[in-house]
Amino acid sequence: MNLQGKKVALFVAQMYDDREFWYPYYRMKEAGAEVTVIGPRAEAFSGKAGLTVKADLGIAEAKPEDYHALIIPGGYGPDHMRREPMMAEFVRRMHEAGRVVAAICHAGWMLASARIVQGKRITGFYSIKDDMVNAGAEWLDQEVVKDGNIITSRNPDDLPAFCRTIIETLA
């Protein structure tokens, strides 16, 4: 699949899941997309496994209209991301514009904080099931769930299906 000309925003924050960040990062680049890493601030963040990545942009400089898709990795990063109202607002605006919003593992928390899961079919790491259901989502235990422009997966084992679905949707 060729994603030439497509721009993908990839969120990052402290204690992100290294696999859930780097696997999509390189898969999107491999498919030809331009990937921009966006964090609460344009600084370096450490993953759970110790890998460090520097955000290209802080959320204050990022504009949802510049991107075709947003990918949010899990780990503990989403708990830090959702403390930044501008990050949740970015997610909401991407969704409202019909752009791809993809979340894996604990990243569903960002979808709930952006208030975009009401009536949507969603999956994620099993420990956030109650949060998603209480936010109005229909919970499914599947490797990847696509409902409109929202794509969700459960954990790192689901990364191949997660990335394949993102790429197919963007192409």
- H/E element, 129: helix 129-134
CA distance 99 to 93: 9
**DSSP string for 38-62:** EESSSSEEEBTTS-EEE-SEEGGG-
Instruction: Write out the catalytic residue numbers.
Output: 106
Q: Give backbone dihedrals phi and psi of 163, rounded to 5 degrees, phi first.
A: -70, -40
Cα–Cα distances in angstroms (integers) from residue 159 to residues 11, 61, 62, 84, in the given order: 16, 29, 26, 26
Residue 63 CB neighbours (<10 A)? 10
CA distance 53 to 92: 25
